[in-house]
A = this chain, B = another copy of it.
Amino acid sequence: MTTRSPGIPIGDTTVADVARLAGVSVATAARALGNYGSVSARSRELVSAAASELGYRPNMVARSMITKTTRTVGVIVGDIENHFFLSALRGITDRLDAFGYDVLLANSAEELDREQRALQAMVERRVDGLIVTPAQVSDRELLSELIHQGLPVVLLDRRIRGLRADSVGIRNREAGRIATDYLLDRGHRRIALITGAGAEHREALHAEDPRELKTVRASTSGTRASGYRQALAAAGVPFIPDYISVAGFRREDACLATLALLNLPAPPTAIVTLDSGLTLGALQAFRQAGIRCPEECSLIGFDDAEWAEVVSPPITVMSQPVVQLGERAAERLVQRLNGEVLDVAAIRLSATLIERSSVAPPPG
């Protein structure tokens, strides 16, 4: 039940008003309201009665002014429509909520300037910490400066070389290796990989010398590709640059890439797609080209999307514990927010292979 009359704008009544009505000092009222210091039971009652009569609502911005903490963390995601971020966000908000933090959300849309603007805005709003999925081509300048200044930052999914910040993600190389090994074990030798990495990484990904991959190592794709090459090498299967297809980020790109792969003189008998959007694209290509999966071409994807077991064939995937990833990022951040002194850590969780029906031995 609300005792106050309607039409009174929010924030019209202050602690001073409450104090006056309760017949106590502002300090006492503030203590009672803010639940700190010591207040007698009687004062507490008086104050809370006055507060509810006046419809008092604490003003966090005034409080932040003094305490220099906003209990807000900024979250910058690369692409808000990507299911990965969505689930991660779920983990982040749930955990953060439990610790009493609110989330200021920004979508960089993988654009550098939007990321920078978001970063700027968050600093000006004095967020207590940041969880960031740096855009593909990220300017480490500002982020790095903020970290130096002591702002707690945790990087999600992607890492940035030389940035002294915690990061949370899966063991990408291992995941790439497991997926490839799985295919190798079933007899595949012509295994293609479709990645969504930016075109700027094409050369490194195609290079004969695996050490070139170092330049793209910060990207999840580069690391997964490196796992793929490790697996091939271990099995004595030669690396064929043409089998690495650097598609764009959209599904259509992956569809085209798959079609191109299928038209190669020696087309692959199996394909690994590095994210769920790409998997969808490959599936679409199979359909268009009339290729039966897994009979004619096997497929293994990344990320266990909601549709993965409903499509036909149900897709075998490397499943990332996405919600957990978000949770861990939030937890790590909260530790720092609590003032714990921690070494910079790269928190890695394992992706797990979920066997379904999109992989079979190669034809013939």
Q: Which residues of chain A have a CB within 8 Å of any CB of chain B?
A: 2, 6-11, 57-62, 64-65, 68, 70, 72, 75, 80-81, 83, 86-87, 89-90, 93-94, 97, 102-107, 109, 114, 121-126, 141, 145-146, 148-151, 251, 277, 280, 283-284, 287, 305-307, 309-312
Contacts and interface: CB of A to CB of B under 8 A. Distances in A.
B65 A65 contact: yes
Contacts of A103: 104-106
Contact of A311 (B62, B86, B150, B312): B312
9 contacts: A9-B150, A10-B151, A11-B126, A72-B125, A81-B87, A81-B90, A93-B106, A287-B310, A311-B312
A103 B118 CA distance: 11
Contacts of A287: 310
Contacts of A251: 306
Contact of A312 (B68, B75, B109, B312): B312
Contacts of A312: 311-312
A2 B143 CA distance: 12
A16 B11 CA distance: 28
B307 A124 contact: no
Contacts of A145: 2, 6
B87 A124 contact: no
A193 to B, nearest CB: 20
Contact of A10 (B75, B89, B114, B149): B149
A90 B107 contact: yes
Contact of A307 (B2, B10, B305): B305
